[in-house]
Structure 1
Amino acid sequence: MYGEEPSEPAVHASEVFRATGARDVLELGAGHGRDALYLAAQGFNVQATGFSATGLDELRHAARARGLDSCVTTAVHDVREALPLPDASVDAVFAHMLLCRALSTKEIHALVGEVARVLRPGGTFVYTVRHTGDAHYGTGTARGDNIFEHGGLAVHFFDHPLVDALADGWHLNQVHAFEEGELPRRLWRVTQRRPH
């Protein structure tokens, strides 16, 4: 759907993760794996999770074809459930356009709590979300809780108070506004770090 080139947020995340000395990275919502493959090619050990077994199969096949299969593991996972990882087991977590899916505010808080649980002290979380400045915000079918369905896709549009609330107990390093795609979609790239 998005091609094989890595997303701009994945390139940024790679630089941030390398600067912090990260080795083990968890990607949430890996899809067909373009960003997981990029991160693995940059030398990280990547655990990629996603809702689609088919997408993860394609990711494993692509990792084998590129000689990256020793650096990539996959697991089918529903983000509304606990992450299938032990406490403090990864150095960094990346999630592009996952938290703004059709998740309630309560489910998003629970997911970020799980991210905090699996991150080692000082670990970094980079995520991207569409926000309330996006052209689709307030259009289509309102589903409540800042969720709007447009063209069959339900999106939870983030506002600044939600970003701030999700950073409670973290160090919020950066909220970077950027655009992506045809509309264009308006997003925030959030970088936050667990205290040591």
Structure 2
Amino acid sequence: MKTGYVELGRAQQERWQTAYEQNPSLHGAEPSAAARWTAELFGAAGIDDVLELGAGQGRDALYLARQGFSVHATDFSEAALHQLRLDAQRDGLDDRVTAALHDVRDPLPPADATVGAVYANVLLNMAFSRAELRSLVNEIRRVLRPGGLFVYTVWSTEDRGYGKCSAIGDGLYAKDGFVGRFFDLDLVHELADRWELRGADGYTEDPHALWRVTQAKPHPVS
């Protein structure tokens, strides 16, 4: 790889910041298919608090709040979070949604075992090394309460864009200044180590083929 991961992460943060500044509705206002599915799962599990990582401008965070969840949304773009806060205030959801600037390469802010559920839509397939991915998943397990759920979605190696972008090393690909990774099942299972893997389901949300992965933090053995 031509640049170190620190430099790569900084460059991607600037790239996303610019994209969000230029388009106040970059991903649209409608929630993702993952958010709709996840809201049903979390509701059925009796969860009421959600930590969303990589929330962007908040389309999923706002949807989850409308479904009655208390949502703490994080992203590494202040421009994205500014739009999220404006939309939450406009919709009268600022009592259910909080937003904080945070780079998930750093330790997560919550204390140990204090979060009911963590949600991350197309975050883990961004410009992370495999070591950074393992560290992030370990942090998520740390902050979840026993039995807490982690749902994430990532691009699949079945995606039609796989192999058509510029490879930059360590399984990462670049296109139009953005860098990401496509997941196969081996990587999904690697990141599920020390978890209860509840499901790894393939689905399509145009134009991408994705994995939707559900993991639970095990209860301690008595």
What TM-score does the superposition give when structure 1 sets the normalisation length? 0.96
Query: 2:16 maps to what in 1?
Result: none
Query: 2:151 maps to what in 1?
Result: 126
Query: 2:121 maps to what in 1?
Result: 96
Aligned residues: 194
Residues 1:190 and 2:213 are matched in the alignment:
yes
Please, which runs of 5 or more residues in structure 1 have no aligned partner? none
Distance 2:174 2:58 in 1: 25
Residues 1:174 and 2:164 are matched in the alignment:
no
Distance 2:43 2:109 in 1: 24
Paired amino acid for 1:73: T
Distance 1:159 1:145 in 2: 14
Displacement of 1:15: 0.7
SS at match of 1:60: helix
Residue number among 171, 176, 187 corresponding to 1:162 in the alignment: 187
Residues 1:135 and 2:160 are matched in the alignment:
yes
Query: 2:178 maps to what in 1?
Result: 153
Displacement of 1:107: 0.5
Residues 1:114 and 2:123 are matched in the alignment:
no
Distance 1:111 1:82 in 2: 8
Deviations 1:135-154 (A, max 9, x none): 22222221112111123221
Deviations 1:3-55 (A, max 9, x none): 11110000111111111111110000000000000001111110000011111
Deviations 1:144-179 (A, max 9, x none): 121111232211111111100111111111111111
Residue number among 22, 25, 42 corresponding to 2:47 in the alignment: 22
SS at match of 2:131: helix
Distance 2:162 2:192 in 1: 23
Residue number among 111, 114, 125 corresponding to 1:86 in the alignment: 111
Given that 1:27 and 1:49 are in contact with CA atoms closer than 8 Å, whether structure 2 keeps it comes out as yes
Query: 2:12 maps to what in 1?
Result: none
Query: 2:60 maps to what in 1?
Result: 35
Cα RMSD after superposing both structures = 1.0
What TM-score does the superposition give when structure 2 sets the normalisation length? 0.85
- Rg comparison, structure with higher value: 2
Paired amino acid for 1:189: R
Distance 2:179 2:80 in 1: 20
Distance 1:68 1:76 in 2: 19
Please, which runs of 5 or more residues in structure 2 have no aligned partner? 1-25
Given that 1:125 and 1:192 are in contact with CA atoms closer than 8 Å, whether structure 2 keeps it comes out as yes
Query: 2:98 maps to what in 1?
Result: 73
